[in-house]
Amino acid sequence: MPEIKIMGLFFITAIAEILGCYLPYLWLKEDKSIWLLLPAAFFLALFAWLLSLHPTAAGRVYAAYGGIYIFVAILWLWVVDGIRPTLWDVVGVSVALVGMTIIMFAPRSS
């Protein structure tokens, strides 16, 4: 699977996971409707299914996915929560993305 497709799949997977967790958060912390739990369950199931689409070992996918999740979570902080990331947020995301790239795309023997 080409690298761009893998990164796009990780990005969509992260959005699904964040929505699956953010909607219950709104219900629990922001006193929103309990009906938010229905789309939350859908997004968490979608998250699990999307992770299964990757062409490599599950453990490696989960480890590499963490880097993209960190990136998307900080992006969410900025876009949805309206909080601008700090320099340290950007440094942390950069380190996570370097780690993800090494885990996912390093040459391996078959």
What residue type is assigned to position 29 of the chain?
K
What is the pLDDT at residue 51?
86
Give domain status of residue 110, yes or no.
no
What is the pLDDT at residue 31?
95
Give domain status of residue 100, yes or no.
yes
CB-based contacts of 83: which residues, under 8 Å, 6+ apart? Answer: 77
What residue type is assigned to position 52 of the chain?
S
Give domain status of residue 96, yes or no.
yes
Domain region containing 48 = 3-105
What is the pLDDT at residue 110?
65
Using only the alpha carbons of the chain, give its radius of gyration: 15
Give domain status of residue 11, yes or no.
yes
Domain count, the chain: 1
What is the pLDDT at residue 58?
80
For the entire predicted model, the pTM comes to 0.84
In this prediction, the residues of the chain whose per-residue pLDDT falls under 70 are 1, 110
Give domain status of residue 55, yes or no.
yes
What is the pLDDT at residue 57?
77
